[in-house]
Each structure stands twice: as C-alpha cells, then as structure tokens.
A and B are shown apart, each in its own frame.
Chain A
C-alpha cells in the first residue's frame, strides 16, 4: 500500500505545482482538469485504502518515508501512519475536495485568478493529507501550518478587498496563537518522551503521566495535563474554539468553495482529529479532558446564539460551523472520540453541502449575500432548494438523516459520560454545563438554520427586479456536487453508525480508558439504526429541534413583524449578540492594539531614546565634548605649552622630592 499512500499525497501536490507554475501555459481548462485528476486519483485510492481496511481486514501501517534530520538522538522523520481513523479522514478529505473542485468550475467561472485558485485548493488537499496521514508530531505540525498557509492564501484570494486581506491576516495570526501552544505541547512531548514518533510517544505515555513539571515554582503540575492542554490550545486555534474562534466568521471573505472545503468540512476539523489521534495521551489526564469539554460547551452554545442575528448567508453557516465544532469538542471531552469523529464525518458532508448551496444562491443572486434581500427563491432554484433542505435537516438532526445519528448519539454520550457518573462537585458541574449546552444548542441550531432557510427560500421575494429577472438554477457543475453531497448527508448515517460508532471500527486507533468508555457502555443498549429511529420522537432532542423549526417558521414566515419587536424589547441582549460577545474587540483593540502600543513604546523609548540617544550617541557626544574641552589646551601658542611643561615638571619634581 506504500505506493498508494505516496500517490495519494503527491498527486494533488503535483497538480497544484503544475496549475500554479504553468497555469498560463495549460490554460483554464487545463488547470481544472489537472487538479481534478490529481484529487480524483487521491480520492479513488483513499476509498481503496478504506475498503482494504474495513472489508479486507488490512492492518494499520506505520511507514517512514524519509529522514528529515537526525541530531542529538532525536529522529525527525516524514512518514505515514495509516489506520482506520486515518483512512476515514482521507476519504472525507479527498471526497469533499473533489466535489469542491468540480463545483469551483462553475463558481469561479469568471474569475481571472482561476488557475491560481485551483492550484491553492489542490495544495490544500496535499497539506491536509499530510496532516491526517502523519505518523509523527513534526509532520503533523507541518501539515497543521501548511493548511493554515493555504487558508491564509485563500481567504485573501481576492486580495484587492480590504476586508479579505484583513480577514486573512487575522486568521493566520489567531491560528498562530493556537500554534504557539501547539509547538510548546510538542516540545513538552519531546522533553518527556524523547521522541516525536506517535508510536513511541504513546508507548511511554503512562510513564509521562507519573511525572510533573513546575511551571510556577512550588506548583508541580502533572506533565500529561500540561502537554494535553498545550496541544489542545493548538486545536482551539485550528478548530476555532472560543476564544480563538474569531477568525472563522471573517474567513467567509474567501470564495465560497473554500468556505465549504477548508472552513467547514476539513481544515477546521483538524483539531478534532488531532485530539482523537492523541486519545492515548488525553485519556491520561482528566483535567485536560475537563478543559476540553468546557471549551467545547461554551463554543457549542454561545456561537450558535450568534448565528441567530447574522444576516449574511455565509456567516450564518459559519457560526453554525463553530457551534458544531463545539459539539465535536464536547464529545472529545466526554471521551466519546468515535462520536466526535462520526459527527465530524457527517458534518463534513452536510456542512459542505450547505455552504455550496449557499454559494449556489450567491451565484444566482449575483454575489448578494444578505438574506434580508432574498426570499422565495424556492421556485427559481429547485435543486438548490431541495439539497439545501436535506443539508438543513441533517444539521438539525432530523430523524433518519446523517446528522440525526451523529448528533443524537453524541448528546447521549455526553449524558452517559464519566462526568455524569463522577462523584465530585466539579464532575457534576462539568456534566451539567456540557449537557445543557449541547441540549439547548439543538433548539438554537434549528432556529438559526430554519430562520435562514425560510428567509432565503420561502416568503416574500425581497430582491430587486433586476436580480429577480436573472434568477435561475445554477449549471450542472454546481448542482451535481450538491446532489453528490446531499446523498451522503441524507443516508450515510444509516449504515455507518453501527460499525463506526459501536462496532470495533477504530480498533486500536482510538484508546479509551476503561472508566471513561461511554461508547462501549452505550453499545450494549444498541439495537441498530432502526431501533434508534423508533425512539427518536421520545427524546428531548427531537422536540427541541422541532420547536426550533416551529419558532423559526412562526417568527419569520407567519408573523415577520415579531422579530423587530423582540429586538427592541431585548436590545441589550441583541447588542451583545450583534457585537459577538465583544470577542473581536478584545482581539483587535486589546491584543493587537496592545501589541502595537508595546512595540511603539519599546522602539521609541527603548531603542531610540535610551539606547541610541542616551547611550550610543550620548557617548559619542560626551567624547566630543571632552575632546572639545581638551582642545582648548592646544592653543597653538608656544608659551602655553612651555607653561604647561613647567607646571608638569614642577609637579613631577615635587613628587620626587617630597613625597618619595
């Protein structure tokens, strides 16, 4: 399989290089064919790898490709670890990427940067594959930063727009804050295990958990807790967890296909994947898991709330992504790693679908993104309408859809988790925060999803006549990917939930401590997809989702006058939401502004005033003044010198005669 892995990784890279460097020569058509061929190859081979793993019973493979460097006993390698977790991620990444490549033909149709765009998204696929296929922390970090680079390039794709180049700088820097923690975590791993290789690190994990590190003197902390929290800070950046989430909504400045690919389906789930990959480490620190679950809960609930007040179609979906990433993080914190990965997979399909559907609407609306200027689009764009409906239903967890299986069971897992069974007050509090967040989040999700859905597709047609006259369904390069994504969004849960979640699909890829094994406990009560479906209407999840949809229908279709009244009545709450809980101000005015102020102070007061003016030039001036003073003695008159000589001689003689 080694050749397969190499081709899977290198085909998109080669395509990206060809489209990037020879874009002019091969032309627009050449660029999209070469990249689609590259990613298509990777996708087909990834599916083969998955098949061999799942049906063929192929074992996990851990292969070194080449030695990056060896020094001082530390081996830094580039290599692949392909197990079932990796295989699943490879398929999700390459499949969504392939759909997005095809869709891009339609979406970027008129853009002058066509070849550049294809080059970037292929490069992204390469970087993401390097990330998920890594067998060591060095390569993980390479992929981690490389996807960040491509994300930076793509958010700023339309580099003439001030908002786009602001957003991409912001995205890169906020991600770098996460990476700052991440690299320290990796340094901690090397410090305590002496290795970067996953297998070796996991093998010595138990021994690390017995050691401690004094970050503050006299306060020994468990080494594993410190390492895991530092690694998770990296995940918070990449997977946009509060308070490092601020870059994701702004990243919508990029073209829609990449919002689907990078900022919904794949890159932002890298953090979730990483924590699942590191489950042998996280399982050894309950403190770190507690940190994870609380951050996830905050993100899941509060970011969902922001989705309700957004009017930009893409930003609604973006906040929804934040909230869903929070759900996955909560599952990680509840040690239900497979539930997190399962939700990651279903979410990749339905969220990519929703973004691409939003993009389809945006094309038809001539790049208008404000949902207040839409409405009644259903009859103009039937395919987009129905696929968007599938996506929205999957998002809110409508019984039978893929999102139903993943979200229902995720919430169930939180409910049954070790936090619930914990005896301390802290455990109980953690449990209630997490459980209430994900449960109430269901209502919020349904509300913002269908608020958008109704405002866009139903009700009064609020667009201007000019736009309306041009409104029609988008071409097949756009609608085919929508349909291709709608199919898994609708049905993939049915036949994957059993094996992926409750079967032994992941095998050794995910390690769960015996006392944390919530999924294992739940599997005894598992009676197949149909069984779950039968009980769907009896769960609070269903009724919360239903009431969310009903509320959206009532407020935005039945009585569209009410939202304005609510807005006035709850103006304080509304202002807080409108300002996104003031996180942006904290980052932009607080940290970025503060950093600039510190820089200005150190430069002007430290470098210019203290060092240069006072010390360097001050010394020079003093020497100059001294020299000026001494120069006075050199008058040029002989008698002055003679006088000086006389005084000197007298002093010398005096010293010789009297003092010796």
Chain B
C-alpha cells in the first residue's frame, strides 16, 4: 500500500465524492437517504485522515529528497508523467488537509439543508484535488489539480453561498483563474527549455536572468492571488463573506496555503535569481499586508470580513519568512524565516478554520455576521465564549498557541535582516490583538444586547467536538511545535542550499 499511498489519498476522496453525486440525488436533508450520505461522506473523510496517518508514520524526517514517489507515464507524446511525491514541505500541508476536511464535514452536518449529498461530495473532491496539488511533481499534473480545484470551490460558494454569491464567485474565479493562466504559459516555456514537465527538470534547467524574471512574475501572479498578497487580495473578503461556513474554512485553512506552497515549491527553486531580484518587493508587499491590512481589519463591521482580513495579514508573515532568505546569513536566519513561514501556514490553517467555524456557529443561530447585532454572547453561550476567546488569543499570536510559533520565528529572522522589517512585522502584536480582541469585546462580552442574543443556545455536541479538536491542536502545536518543525528541517535546509546556487 505504501507505494501508492499518495494516489490513495488523492483518489479515495474524489471517488467517494463522485459516488455521492451519483447516488445522492435526494434534495430533502431530513430524509434517511441524506443521512446515509452524510455518514458516507464522514466515513470517506475520516478514512482519508486515517490513511494519512500512515503517511506521517512512514515519513522519514532525516531523508533528503522526495518520499512516497510514484511515477507513471501519462501523456507519453508530451513527456507528461503522473508523478507524485512528498517532502517536509508538502507532508504537513497534506496532513492539514486530511485533518480539516472531516471537521468541515461534521460542521456542515445538519446546517446544510439544500442538496446535502452534493455539498459533501464537493468537499471530498476538493480534498483529493488539494492533496494532488501538494503531491504533484509534474508541472502539468500540478496545473491540472490547481485549476480543477477551482471548480468545486466555485460551486460551493455559488450554490450554498449567501446573497451576493454570484458577484463573489465571479470575482473569486476570475481573479484566481487569470493569475494561474500565466503560470501555464511559464510551464509551457519551461517545457520548451527542458523537453518535459518534470519539476526537477525545471529546477535543473539553466535560465537567463531575464527569463527568470518573467517566469517569476508569471508565478507571482498565480500565487500572490492565492495567498493573497496585497494588492490582489480583495477577492478574499468577498468570497469569505458569501461562502458557507465549510467553504470559508477550507478556503482559509488550505486553499490560501496553495500560494505559499507554490512559492517554495516552484518560484524559489526554479527561478532563484529571479526570486532574489524581486525579494525586496516581496518583503515590501508582505509588510504592507501585515500593517495595512491590520489597520483595515480593525474597522470591519462584518465578522467574516474581519477574519478574512486577518488571514491576509497573517499570510504576510508567510511570504515575509520566505523572502528574507537573501537578507540573512548564518544561524537563526534564512532557515528560521522559512520554518517560521511554514509553521505559520499550518497554524493559520488551524486558527482561521476555527475562527470561521465560530462565526458559523453564531451565524447558524442568528443569521447575521454583523458585529453590531451581537453583544454579551458569553451570557447565553459560555462554553462557546471560552472557545472563541481561546481562538481569538491564538489569532492574536499568544505564546502557548500555534499562532505564536511562526510569528516569533519570522520576527526573529527578520530582525537579522533589517531592524525595520522586524519593527513593522512585530506591529502585528498590537494590531492583531486590537482587531481580534475588539471584536471579542463587542460580540462576546457585555450585557445581553438584544432578544436574539438572549435566546441563543450554547454549543451542541457536534459543534463542541469540532471546536474541541481544533482547540487541542492549536494548543499542542503552540506548546510543542518540535514534531512539526523537525518534519520540515531537512527539506528546508536542502531548499536553502538549492536557492543559494545561482543559475546564471
């Protein structure tokens, strides 16, 4: 089984999703058939998660290069391969994907009234495609997974979304699609240079600085939109606001990570000189994301928008950690920044997922995301309030939660690069706390604001389980990040060495 482990992880949920669509045409969410569909969806997602534990167990932290490699010819005439493999960068992200998906299935259990089978199917298919992106080693395969990922998400927002879902889906689709088309152009150019789509072939290909600059820009548009980086971020708040809770969770927890993953998997090793050339700009954009977006988040009136903006600010740490590579040398420098960025991605996956679930819990009861409609929720939902405060603190980067780990590493590394980088990055300590806790103050604390809040009921078992699992993992990563960091160390060292070798 181990030699096809990645294929199983990709295709099991996709097949499961396809099967759900094929048999689950019942529109009535209360029917026994719909109930069966839910259980089937949960079973598939949990099975995928359990299989991914085998990936974790079998993963060798000390090994260099790719593991669990699979390679079969796909389109022989074009030299395209069905080529999979994982290393210390992709494995944690795959585990994050398989971990979050069952939670999303549980979270949507009885809140999705319309076409539940198709809803769960979309998430299962999406899961497989995302794992595909994280494990593809062939550029064309990568591109196929990358683009097809948009379809289920497009449907999730477009069908189960809120009132302005059409505007949001179109914006989401066009933004991300336009970005990634140029990536395809870059792939085709690289195909012309190397005669194949193998990512390692791309990495080894000699490229002129001009070519590298163009390729970097092409990649940048694809990845920056996904991350999202300022100024191509405005699709995210709209998409989040309109997406159903589960869609928001997957979007924030995993899909945004595609951008960060793209930078480390493609941009840095394939065009190291091009990346170095643009590193200053990337740092600047990252810091703008942290500071500018931090201020914007402060003034949001809609909880989901606030968390969406907070996601952008937190993802700024990821790109900052990656691109200070060239400004730091010696111990506790480039590797620390890179690890910090990676840990931040995993941590943000957990925290933003949890925050969106929290908003979902409130939205299911009150059908409002407006901060002004709430107040004093702690009076009627004390257990929920405890979770919300915990996740808010994690979002504000409190030590002991996962939110601190990555930010701490990146701030330290960036001080080495330049005092002002660290100064601006560390402003998140104030801004992050300000926008998150101000929201907590207005939503959770205070006297019961109105009759609707007074009528709220506390978490049910299903919601409790989901939030408790996330709470434990947020604390675990915060108190003992070593297992996660150890998984990435060797790969990151290798990557830094690779990036250090100029292609010119």
Contact = CB atoms under 8 A, between A and B. Distances in A.
A74 interface: yes
Contacts of B297: 599
Nearest to B334: A72
Interface in A138-186: 138, 141-142, 144-146, 149, 152-153, 156, 159-160, 162, 165-166, 169, 172-173, 176-177, 179-180, 183-184, 186
Contacts of B481: 68-69
Given A165-B441, A177-B430, A607-B234, A595 B295 contact: yes
B332 A72 contact: yes
A620 B235 CA distance: 13
A141 B485 contact: no
B359 interface: no
Interface string A186-205: 11101100100000000000
B296 interface: yes
A173 B412 contact: no
B426 A184 contact: yes
A194 B433 contact: no
A268 to B, nearest CB: 19
A567 interface: no
A510 B234 CA distance: 53
B427 interface: yes
Interface string A596-629: 1011101100110001100110001000000000
Nearest to A215: B419
A533 B261 CA distance: 71
B82 to A, nearest CB: 34
Contact of B429 (A142, A183, A215): A183
A191 B415 contact: yes
A149 B390 CA distance: 10
B399 A600 contact: no
B295 A194 contact: no
A556 to B, nearest CB: 38
Contacts of B434: 173, 176, 595
Interface stretch (B73-81, B269-277, B403-411): B403-411
Given A72-B332, A165-B446, A596 B411 contact: no
A568 interface: no
A159 B378 contact: yes
Given A188-B415, A596-B299, A74 B379 contact: no
Contact of A66 (B335, B400, B411, B480): B480
Interface residues on B, range: 35 or more
A371 to B, nearest CB: 28
Given A72-B331, A187-B411, A599-B295, A160 B376 contact: yes
A213 interface: yes
A504 to B, nearest CB: 35
A602 B447 contact: no
B68 interface: no
B446 A160 contact: yes
**Which of A67, A153, A603, A606 is most buried by chain B, counting CB atoms within 10 A of its CB?**
A603
Interface in B365-387: 376, 378-379
A70 interface: yes
Interface string A99-118: 00000000000000000000
B437 A602 contact: no
B339 A173 contact: no
Given A68-B482, A169-B438, A188-B415, A183 B332 contact: no
A525 interface: no
B485 A71 contact: yes
Contacts of B480: 66, 68
B171 interface: yes
B398 interface: yes
Interface residues on A, range: 35 or more
Contact of B296 (A73, A169, A187, A607): A607
Given A70-B482, A183-B408, A603 B446 contact: no
Nearest to A127: B400
Given A67-B482, A68-B482, A165-B441, A191 B416 contact: yes
Interface string A117-129: 0000000000000
B241 interface: no
Given A69-B485, A595-B298, A611 B234 contact: yes
A179 B296 contact: no
B379 A73 contact: no
A99 to B, nearest CB: 27
Contacts of B175: 616
B445 interface: yes
A270 B204 CA distance: 54
Given A69-B405, A160-B446, A194 B429 contact: no
Report whether over half of chain A's contact residues are helix, strand or loop; otherwise say mixed. Answer: helix
B125 interface: no
Contacts of A176: 429-430, 433-434
B393 to A, nearest CB: 6
A146 B445 contact: no
B231 interface: yes
B339 A606 contact: no
B176 to A, nearest CB: 13
A516 B50 CA distance: 63
Nearest to B434: A173
A160 B447 contact: yes
Contact of A602 (B296, B400, B426): B296
Contacts of A600: 299
Nearest to A144: B399
Contacts of B431: 595
Nearest to A162: B446
A191 B419 CA distance: 10
A358 to B, nearest CB: 26
B296 A146 contact: no
B412 A187 contact: yes
B399 A145 contact: yes
**Which of B175, B235, B429, B489 is most buried by chain A, counting CB atoms within 10 A of its CB?**
B429
Contacts of A138: 399, 408
A176 B404 CA distance: 13
Interface in A48-65: none
A599 B336 contact: no
B426 A74 contact: no
Nearest to A146: B400
Contact of B415 (A74, A142, A190, A603): A190
Contacts of A67: 482
Nearest to B432: A176
Contacts of A612: 234
Contacts of B335: 71-73
Nearest to B330: A194
Contacts of B420: 215
Interface in B434-448: 434, 437-438, 441, 444-447
Contact of B445 (A141, A165, A184, A603): A165
A73 B379 CA distance: 48
A142 B489 contact: no
A215 B415 CA distance: 11
B144 interface: no
18 contacts: A68-B482, A69-B485, A71-B335, A72-B492, A73-B332, A74-B336, A141-B408, A145-B398, A159-B444, A159-B445, A160-B445, A162-B447, A172-B437, A183-B429, A184-B423, A187-B426, A595-B295, A607-B296
Given A69-B484, A156-B445, A595-B298, 6 more contacts: A138-B399, A141-B408, A142-B399, A186-B412, A187-B411, A612-B234
State the 7 A-B residue pairs at the shortest beta-carbon distance, nearest first.
A72-B335, A187-B415, A73-B331, A599-B298, A599-B295, A599-B299, A74-B332
